[in-house]
Amino acid sequence: MAYILTHAEFDTVLQRLKQDYILIGPVRKKNKGKFSDADLITYGQIESLSDLETNGKSQFSAKETIFPPSQTLFYFTEDEYREPKFEPQKQIVFLRACDFNAIKRLDLLFLENGQFVDAYYKRLREKTHFFVFGCEKSYENCFCVSTGTNQCEGYDAFLNFKGEKINLFPSEPFKRYFAGYEENEDILPQFIERNHIQVDIPEGLSTKIYDHPYWDQYGKRCIGCGRCNFSCPTCTCFTMQDIFYRDNKNAGERRRVWASCQVDGFTDMAGGHSYRKQQGERMRFKVMHKIHDFAKRFNMHMCVGCGRCDDVCPEYISFSQCISGLKGVVAHDN
Alpha carbon of residue 60 to chain centroid: 7
First to last CA, the chain: 50
Secondary element (H or E) of residue 75? strand 70-76
Least distance (Å) between residue 268 CB and ligand SF4 = 17
Least distance (Å) between residue 34 CB and ligand SF4 = 12
Least distance (Å) between residue 116 CB and ligand SF4 = 24
Comparison of 94 and 294: residue with beta carbon closer to ligand SF4: 294
d(CA 288, CA 302): 10
Comparison of 58 and 231: residue with beta carbon closer to ligand SF4: 231
Comparison of 98 and 168: residue with beta carbon closer to ligand SF4: 98
Comparison of 170 and 226: residue with beta carbon closer to ligand SF4: 226
Least distance (Å) between residue 306 CB and ligand SF4 = 4
Comparison of 2 and 317: residue with beta carbon closer to ligand SF4: 317
Least distance (Å) between residue 58 CB and ligand SF4 = 12
| Three state DSSP letters for 244-307 | ECCCCCCCEEEEEEECCCCCCCCCECCCCCECCCCHHHHHHHHHHHHHHHHHHHHCCCCCCCCC
Q: 237: helix, coil or strand?
A: coil
Which residue, among 16, 9, 21, has the nearest Cα to 45 in the 3D structure? 21
Contact 185, 169 (CB under 8 A): no
CA dihedral of residues 328, 331, 332, 334 (deg, nearest 10): 150
d(CA 217, CA 7): 49
Query: How far is residue 208 from each of residues 256, 303, 321, measured CA to CA in Å?
Result: 34, 21, 20
Comparison of 146 and 160: residue with beta carbon closer to ligand SF4: 146
Q: 176: helix, coil or strand?
A: helix
Least distance (Å) between residue 211 CB and ligand SF4 = 20
Residue 141: left (phi > 0), alpha (psi -120 to 50), or beta? Answer: left
Q: 216: helix, coil or strand?
A: helix
d(CA 274, CA 286): 16
Comparison of 44 and 224: residue with beta carbon closer to ligand SF4: 224
- What single DSSP character describes residue 33? S
Q: Pairing state of beta strands 2-6 and 165-170? A: antiparallel
Least distance (Å) between residue 267 CB and ligand SF4 = 14
Least distance (Å) between residue 46 CB and ligand SF4 = 23
Comparison of 167 and 195: residue with beta carbon closer to ligand SF4: 195
Least distance (Å) between residue 238 CB and ligand SF4 = 16
Comparison of 92 and 306: residue with beta carbon closer to ligand SF4: 306
| Residues at the site binding ligand SF4, with contacts judged by CB under 6 A | 222-228, 231-234, 262, 290, 303-309, 312-315, 317, 319
